[in-house]
A and B are shown apart, each in its own frame.
Chain A
Amino acid sequence: GDQVEQSPSALSLHEGTDSALRCNFTTTMRSVQWFRQNSRGSLISLFYLASGTKENGRLKSAFDSKERRYSTLHIRDAQLEDSGTYFCAAYTGGADRLTFGKGTQLIIQP
């Protein structure tokens, strides 16, 4: 099975609402990285976590420090520009190769 599982696969929200995306791993991970891919295809790094939580504006990410088998990305007060595909990735097959989940397509509606 997939080593990096993302949920949900798609999500549609209205502006101003909050949401949470999740990334599950089939084994313990040392770190996780979250990205957003916009309509032009650019993959923008949002967070890199080895443990704990990080926050940047309306975005907050957490990495389970105990079992290290899941991570979450919270979006507060969603805006239209938050639309895109969100990917999480982790080093599953070794320290030198990043494995990506299949992504969550997020659509923010007015």
Chain B
Amino acid sequence: ETAVFQTPNYHVTQVGNEVSFNCKQTLGHDTMYWYKQDSKKLLKIMFSYNNKQLIVNETVPRRFSPQSSDKAHLNLRIKSVEPEDSAVYLCASSWGHNYAEQFFGPGTRLTVL
């Protein structure tokens, strides 16, 4: 099956902890993205990587760091979570990074207590 896969589906943690989310795509794409969807369902891009190179880095707190081992994997680490980090984190991929059609994973729902 070719798709975008994310783990875990859900994660509940305490303020100040570190969390890490994984994303893998088997579509043969060269660009991957992380988006944040808040409680009002607003979707905003956080990062994008093309062939392991950072392309987009929106205004995101420094505690967020993407990690790309190869073009099929893009993980997201949050060093010390805050309550406002509670959201759904969606990973996506595309072929090329200019005006490209994007395909999304199922998301990871983070709850910070």
Contacts and interface: CB of A to CB of B under 8 A. Distances in A.
Interface string B19-55: 0000000000000010000001111110010000001
Interface stretch (A18-26, A33-41, A61-69): A33-41
B42 A45 contact: no
A41 B109 contact: yes
A48 B55 CA distance: 22
Contacts of B41: 37, 85, 102-103
6 contacts: A35-B104, A85-B41, A95-B99, A97-B56, A98-B33, A100-B42
A102 B42 CA distance: 6
Interface string B101-113: 1111011010000
Given A91-B99, A97-B45, A41 B106 contact: yes
Interface string A64-97: 0000000000000000000001010101000111
CB-CB nearest 5 A-B residue pairs: A48-B101, A95-B98, A43-B104, A100-B43, A42-B106
B107 A42 contact: yes
Contacts of A44: 104
Interface residues of B, number: 23
Interface residues of A, number: 25
Given A35-B104, A42-B106, A30 B90 contact: no
A87 B43 contact: yes
A97 B103 contact: no
A98 B45 contact: yes
Contacts of A35: 104
B46 to A, nearest CB: 10
B77 interface: no
B81 interface: no
A50 B43 CA distance: 22
Given A35-B104, A42-B104, A45-B104, 15 more contacts: A31-B99, A42-B107, A44-B104, A45-B103, A48-B101, A87-B43, A89-B43, A91-B99, A96-B56, A97-B45, A98-B33, A100-B42, A102-B40, A102-B41, A103-B41
